[in-house]
Amino acid sequence: MLFLRLAVRNVFRNRMRTTVALLAIAAGCAALIVNGGVIYNIFTELREDAIHGRHGHLQITRAGYGEHHLREPGRYLIPAEETGQILELLRDVPQVEHISRQRQFSGMIASGDRYVAFVGIGVDPDQDAAFSRHVTLQRGDPLSSDDPYGMICGLGLADKFAGDPGVVVTLLTNTDSGALNAVDVRLRGVFEGGMKAFDDWTLKLPIAAVEELLLDDRTEKIVVLLEETEQVPVVQVMLEERFAAQGLDLEVRSWRKLALFHNQTVSLFKRELDIIKLIIATIVILGIANTIGMSILERRAELATLRALGLRRGAIARLLVGEALLTGLLGGLLGIVLGAVIARVATTIGIPFPSPPGSTRPFLGGVDFVPSIALSSFLLSVLSTLAASFLPVWRATRRPIAEILRG
């Protein structure tokens, strides 16, 4: 206890220096927490965008679809009777919140004398809003099951054929057998999807109309949203087992496998976060090493006295490292509080971010206070402070006692 008391009192004997050291550690720790919090916030936005705007939590397709459908699209479609079986099975899963059948197709829009290429997605009109988080309707109305031939399209695509809500156009496409088919549809609304390429080419249509256009009632994919993203692994395994038990030859892919942009962005930012950690740890080590060095230098006679009294070098090192540990712990705790406050304030005010690559919309971000990031920042602060103490401590315990006492 006395040794601990000595360490505590030594830490606080020079209050100004200790305050500066604590602030340096706390600033480093808070910087890590805030930087990690901003990136986590972006990750969350990207993740939710990927899930609720593009991929859903899970996608159910014919086995082999992921790898081969581009080469042989017609071969990897789910027959209507199997689709019904799957939908029935999905409705029995309590975690499943939304289900939408989808079918992608492409063709031309004929509007007056204009012919415009498009990429279409046949969707369940009543479920589409849940899968379109990134989509903002700019004009007109959303899809509706009451309007089986009512479509919506991206802003850029609407501009190409000068389409305003209410206009009737003809969609032309090739069926699976290669025949040309057409259907008249009415433009219900114009959306902005956040990504220019998406807005310039995409339209959405109730899947029943798409089936009529393609003369094919097979489903390309069934997209599922769960109550919580964390439920994905459990439900994925459960569905795979149930499909296998019923002899359905399907593959269930999670959003994580499908969201390539999200995955690439996350790994890029994680690497950036590691570099920031390294830089901040280095700054803390350099700053604190000087403070600890000064503290030890001033107390060299005291430390030599302790050694003269019979304390081994190891005991002196334990005392000094203990003081550094205490400083690191206090600085780290202060850093967590500081980080939490900054995160709170920044989130309340909001951080305006410019449009990310490929997107057309700037967004207002925040700083998430993430316990795991706070803990790792705290540990890194403590370890940096300990690392900073090693050289001064080593020096302090190596010099001959008599030489120090002679002054």
Partner 1 sequence: MIRLQEVSRSFGEGAARAVALDGINLQVEAGEFVAVAGPSGSGKTSLLNIIGVLDAPDTGTVELDGQDVGALGEPEQADLRLAKIGFVFQRFNLIPVLSAAENVELALLFRRDVSAGERRERVRTSLERVGLGDKGHRRPAELSGGEQQRVAVARALAAKPVVVLADEPTANLDHETGLPVIELMRDLNREHGTTFLYATHDPELIRLADRVIWLRDGRQVEGDA
Contact footprint for partner 1 (CB under 8 A): 2-3, 5-6, 9-10, 13, 301-302, 305-315, 400-402, 405-406
Distance CA 324, CA 390 (A): 9
Q: By C-beta, is 104 or 305 nearer to partner 1?
A: 305
What is the SS3 assignment for 363?
strand
Burial 76-110 (b: 16+ CB within 10 A, else e): bbbeeebbebbeebbeebeebebbbbbbebebbbb
- Report the nearest approach of partner 1 to the CB of residue 37 (Å): 39
What DSSP character marks residue 162? T
Given a contact cutoff of 8 angstroms between Cβ atoms, the answer to whether 62 and 79 are in contact is no
- Report the nearest approach of partner 1 to the CB of residue 8 (Å): 9
- Report the nearest approach of partner 1 to the CB of residue 301 (Å): 7
- The token pair at 59 is 């996608």
Q: By C-beta, is 311 or 321 nearer to partner 1?
A: 311
Backbone torsions φ then ψ of 364, nearest 5 degrees: -100, 110
- Report the nearest approach of partner 1 to the CB of residue 25 (Å): 22
Q: By C-beta, is 12 or 274 nearer to partner 1?
A: 12
Within 10 Å of residue 232's Cβ, how many Cβ atoms?
18
Q: By C-beta, is 139 or 299 nearer to partner 1?
A: 299
Given a contact cutoff of 8 angstroms between Cβ atoms, the answer to whether 58 and 236 are in contact is yes
Q: By C-beta, is 1 or 179 nearer to partner 1?
A: 1
Q: By C-beta, is 100 or 295 nearer to partner 1?
A: 295
Burial 282-309 (b: 16+ CB within 10 A, else e): eebbebbbebbbebbeebbeebbebbee
